[in-house]
Chains A and B, each alone.
Chain A
Amino acid sequence: DAGVIQSPRHEVTEMGQEVTLRCKPISGHDYLFWYRQTMMRGLELLIYFNNNVPIDDSGMPEDRFSAKMPNASFSTLKIQPSEPRDSAVYFCASSSLAGGQETQYFGPGTRLLVL
């Protein structure tokens, strides 16, 4: 398996623009997580899905952030409008109930810079 795939790997945009991050989880995994990592705040869980359904979005910072999972093999995290403080590395991770929920497999991340 190719592991968790994220795109783009790098994104530079201007304040106010819409940003869409994409994730393809490992085939067969039923949990998908979106995290944000910064030097100041470390690794934070934004939202997670189980069987394509959002379960906990309490980590989403504000209404500018939204996430969808239209099917088992694809998820998006959208920021609209983007702000400089959204600059961070965004990770997608997936896990399987059968494999143990704690065994989360992370993608390589998307480095976002908002100017």
Chain B
Amino acid sequence: QKEVEQDPGPLSVPEGAIVSLNCTYSNSAFQYFMWYRQYSRKGPELLMYTYSSGNKEDGRFTAQVDKSSKYISLFIRDSQPSDSATYLCAMRGTGGYNKLIFGAGTRLAVHP
């Protein structure tokens, strides 16, 4: 079993839709949770970062962490064609540097 599970999609939605992307994980030591966005033929870029449980909002993006269920989500409101990309979740533990563990990535297509 992988430490981080993420449905690779693809996910296709119409412009303006609310998008929900999710990851589950097995390691209870994970404390830092991130979402990266990767456009085609580009490197991943950090989109959202959360520590421990709770919600974080940034514009049209909301990240949620439910540590009791070992489940994290990224919501995109009013999705735009420019949101079309692959979204990777990533997480790590605490105590010095712990390497990031990435999900497989979910490919999202927002069509006009």
Pairwise interchain contact A102-B32, C-beta atoms closer than 8 A: yes
**Tier of interface size on chain B:** 10 to 19
One of B34, B44, B99, B104 near A106 (C-beta < 8 A)? B44
Binds B, one of A14-22, A41-49, A63-71, A76-84: A41-49
Q: Is the CB of A106 within 8 A of B43?
A: yes
Q: Which of B97, B99, B105 contacts A42 (CB 8 A)?
A: B105
Question: Does A25 have its Cβ within 8 Å of any Cβ on chain B?
Answer: no
Residues of A77-115 contacting chain B, CB below 8 A: 91, 93, 100-109
How many inter-chain residue pairs (CB < 8 Å) link A and B? 45
Is A7 in contact with chain B by the CB < 8 A criterion? no
Main secondary structure of the interface of A (DSSP, over half): strand
Question: Would you give the 0/1 interface string for B29-60, flagging 1 where the beta carbon is closer than 8 Å to chain A?
Answer: 00010100000011111100100000000000
A26 within 8 A of B: no
A73 within 8 A of B: no
CB distance from A53 to the nearest CB of B (A): 12
> Is residue A32 contacting chain B, with contact meaning CB distance below 8 A?
no
